[in-house]
Amino acid sequence: GLPVIKECLESIYRQKNSTIAEVIVVDCSNEHTRKVIAESFKEIILIHPKRKMSIPELRAIGIKEARYELLALIEDHCLVPENWFTEMIKAHESNYVAIGGAVENACHEKVLDWATFFCEYSAFIQPVPFSPVRELPGNNVSYKRNKIQDVLNDAIDKGVWEGFIHQKLIDRGYELFSTPSLVVFHKKSFSFFEFLVQRFYYSQSYAGMRSSEFPFAKRVIYSIFCLFLPFMLIFRICVRVIPKGKLRKELALSAPLLFIFTTVWAIGECWGYLFGMGNSLLYIK
């Protein structure tokens, strides 16, 4: 919603030395947002689903609507530098099907902003590798469109998170590629309780997707292992951030909040294994 979607689109249209052929906005926020977008960016393809839909479902609509060979996905709370599309085209001169890059924090006034950022994007803080990787950010990723549609129509139709789509690509023999030249700036500030709720629903949806075909006994075993998740997740964040040689102070100050957020994540994941994802996707912003 506004005002961040307008800032995002303005940054996209400031690209230098490249022409973006089409921009598709799939919006489920409100009529005022759509009116501002339509008036400010007349060339945009604006799609308004008739019912409330989850983020993966909205992405699926955009992917199916896209007509050009290179397909980039971004979220409304992200800003891109002026060379974003140029670097993307350059990267896709390779044979890699899925290419992504870094996510940097553009909301850093409060410790809470850093804690929420570390929870979501610690794996993608600069410097990211220039090499094949196992994961890419869902809000700074680009594809050779025909390849992913040929391979992933079922996964896209189901409306799953990007991690599941990327794993399917890996299972089919494709490599994901990361390059530090592709950067987006994450500009989203949560309140404390808002992020707690978001963590719970996100982890419930993740576990529900992951275990949808598990027998009940296996789901119970996975739910028991959730007891150890807070410590594992905090350890993973530290291993990702500390070697970067920056943001160590912000990480240390965020530690109490990170423990709370990872604990709520563990509770949500446990719930998702035991009871499925329910309507959790619809509550994720």
Residue 54 CB neighbours (<10 A) = 20
Residue 207 CB neighbours (<10 A) = 27
Q: Determine if the peptide bond prior to 81 is cis (ω within 30°).
A: no
3-state secondary structure of 103: strand
Residue 169 CB neighbours (<10 A) = 20
Residue 62 CB neighbours (<10 A) = 16
- Containing 70, the helix (H) or strand (E) segment is strand 70-73
Residue 158 CB neighbours (<10 A) = 15
Max CA pair span of the chain:
56
Mean pLDDT score, 136-163: 82
Q: Is the pLDDT of residue 151 over 80?
A: no
Residue-by-residue DSSP string for 240-267: HHGGGTS-HHHHHHHHHHHHHHHHHHHH
Rg of the chain (C-alpha set):
19
In single-letter form, the type of residue at position 28 comes to: C
How far apart, in Å, are the Cα atoms of 171 and each of 44, 164, 176? 35, 10, 11
The pLDDT of residue 74 is 94
Mean pLDDT score, 250-278: 97
Name which of 29, 34, 280 is nearest 159 in CA terms.
280
260 burial via Cβ count (<10 Å: 0-12, 13-18, 19+): middle
Name which of 87, 98, 103 is nearest 188 in CA terms.
103
Q: Is the pLDDT of residue 40 over 80?
A: yes
Q: What is the pLDDT of residues 256-265, one digit of tens each?
A: 999 999 999 9
Bridge partner list, 25: 46
Q: What is the pLDDT of residues 95-133, one digit of tens each?
A: 999 999 999 999 988 999 999 999 999 999 999 999 999
Model-level pTM? 0.92
